[in-house]
Every structure is written in structure tokens, then in C-alpha cells.
Structure 1
Amino acid sequence: MSTPKARDAGEDGAGGVDDAVRALLLLMPRMVGRAKKIPVPEALQSLSLAPRHLSLLSYLLFDGPMTVNELAARLQVAPTTVSLLVGDLSRKGILERREDEADRRRRIIGIAAHQQRAITAWLAPGASAWRKALAPLTPDQRQMFIDTLLAYEAAVSGEEQT
């Protein structure tokens, strides 16, 4: 990281990259801390759900039931990884698998009806907060925000493009 004197060229110090980095270094831990404080509903507390389950459950909650391959594509992981997650969550009674009427060889994965309310209660506060934060932005601004977070994730994980 650069020293406080190293500002963006041509800027008066306000709004430089380093100022934004400072703000984000303070903001990100607070955001993560607040997200972690969203209580897991009592009905789900004993099920040992991990962060890796959240994305899968979010897709099923917001987009409805889908196949393992569809989930894998959205989560950007291998279908075998999704199969393992689905198996784990099915054994815990969180997910249900049913036959696809169009192709009986395929299984459609969905949130178990008796867990729908608890999962909605758990994930809704985060979704609501994102809607409130993103609503004032234009579609291009929202995409830039998402692209920026993806670039940050890639840089932190060492996967950034050179």
C-alpha cells in the first residue's frame, strides 16, 4: 500500500484511490461483522450450515427449484461439488429432490416446504439491504459495482488477471 502522500495524479487528495481504499478497509470488516450477526433461525441452528450453503440456498430461494447442473453453472463449481452439498442438505431435511417430469433421469432440487419460511427469514435481511443499496444506481452502475467486487475477490485470492 502506498504512503498517505501518494495520491492519484492530478487530484487534490479528496477522492483518490488511497482515500477509497482507507474507507473500504474500515467498511468491509464492519459489513462482514454485521452480516455475521444476522441470526440463524432457531429451526436451522442445529443443522450446522456453513457459508458455502448460503449461495446455494439463495439461488433456490430467489430463482426457485433447479437441477444440479443449473446450480453448478450459477455457483461456478463442478456438478459433483453441488451434488455433495445437495446430498448434505437433503439428509438434513433442508432440500428435497424430485423427478423432473420432462426427463425422469434428472432431479429437480428445491427447498423443503417446511424449511422455506426459516430460510426466507434468514436470507431476506441481506437481500433487502442489497436492494436498498443498489436501487438508486443505474444498471451500468450496479454492474460496475458487481465487477469491482469480483475484481477485489480475484485480487485477494491471487487470481487476478495480469
Structure 2
Amino acid sequence: MSRLSAGSAADDGKGAGTVDDAVRDLLLLMPRMVGRVKKIPVPEALRSFALAPRHLSLLSYLLFDGPMTVNELAAKLQVAPTTVSLLVGDLSRKGILERRADEADRRRRIIRIAPDQKPSITAWLAPGAAAWRKALAPLTQEQRRLFVDTLLAYEAAVGGEEQG
């Protein structure tokens, strides 16, 4: 019997025991999670904008962390500032984001979610945020950090990147 077809500790209700058990459990879980997340409806006010996952990440940062510059967004998203500029330009033309001059440095632009779009974006992200809060609340701070670090390591490994 191969590792991928071996029985799992989850079959007996005791949870993942070995690394292979955990891998099996996660390979079965991830498609269900992705499927459920995809079923979260885009609010009516945002449906015509054809938003993609890359937009969701950018909007999440602006919603949770507040207005910021293109360079700050690029650092958080781990992409080039030109990529963020293109996304911001696209979302600004659609009226989802606003750019304004930074009071401290008029050459810089601060990006924020347009006030009339904020309720729809909040409603779109709320189910996912509530689910994560419920799942993470029982964990200690160290356990939450380990969980997030593990997901980041998985993402890097799937993407063929080195974890740094």
C-alpha cells in the first residue's frame, strides 16, 4: 500500500497521527475548503467588477490595515509596486478604490477603499473572517503563529519557493 493510499488516523476519529496521516487529511480537506470559500457570494454591488483573487488580497489589506501607499501594499502582497499600481489603477477606474495625496508628502499617493464600496467589501470578507476567528480563537498565540507559518510554508513549497 502506498503512502497516499494508506489508512489515516482520521478514519478512527483520533485525528492525524503521523506526517503521512496529516498529509492525507489535508489533501482531502483543502479541496472542500476551497469549494466552500468559492461559494461565498460576491455582493451584488461588486458582481459587475469581475474581481479576482488578487483583488481580494489587496482589498483585505486595505480593509483590515487601512489606507496605505502602493509601496506598502506591494510589500504586504510580496509583489512589485508596478503590479500593485496596475491593480490599483484597475480598481480606481471601477470606483472601488480612491487615491489621494499624502499630506506629509504630496508626491506620494495613499490608496483606500472608496467609502461607498466599503460596506459591500466588508460583507464579502466577513464570512471568511468570522470562520477564521472561530477556528483560531481556541488556540494560543504560539499555536496561531505556528498554524499561519505552516500555511505560509505550504504555499511556498507548492510555489517552489524557498522558505526564508
Relative to the length of structure 2, the TM-score reads 0.89
Q: CA deviation at 1:92?
A: 0.6
SS state at 2:100 partner: strand
Match of 2:140 among 138, 141, 145: 138
Q: CA deviation at 1:63?
A: 0.8
> Which residue number in structure 2 is paired with residue 58 of structure 1?
60
Q: CA deviation at 1:2?
A: 2.5
Match of 1:123 among 106, 121, 125: 125
> Which residue number in structure 2 is paired with residue 42 of structure 1?
44
> Which residue number in structure 1 is paired with residue 84 of structure 2?
82
1:25-60 CA-to-partner distances (Å, cap 9, x unmatched) read 111001000000000000000001000001100000
Q: CA deviation at 1:160?
A: 3.8
Whole-Å Cα distance in 1 between the matches of residues 66 and 159 of structure 2? 30
Whole-Å Cα distance in 2 between the matches of residues 73 and 25 of structure 1? 30
RMSD (Å) for aligned C-alpha atoms: 1.8
| Identity in percent | 83
1:119-139 CA-to-partner distances (Å, cap 9, x unmatched) read 000011111111111111111
> Which residue number in structure 1 is paired with residue 153 of structure 2?
151
> What is the number of equivalent residue pairs in this alignment?
155
Unaligned 5+ runs, structure 2:
8-15
Q: CA deviation at 1:159?
A: 1.7
> Which residue number in structure 2 is paired with residue 100 of structure 1?
102
Unaligned 5+ runs, structure 1:
6-13
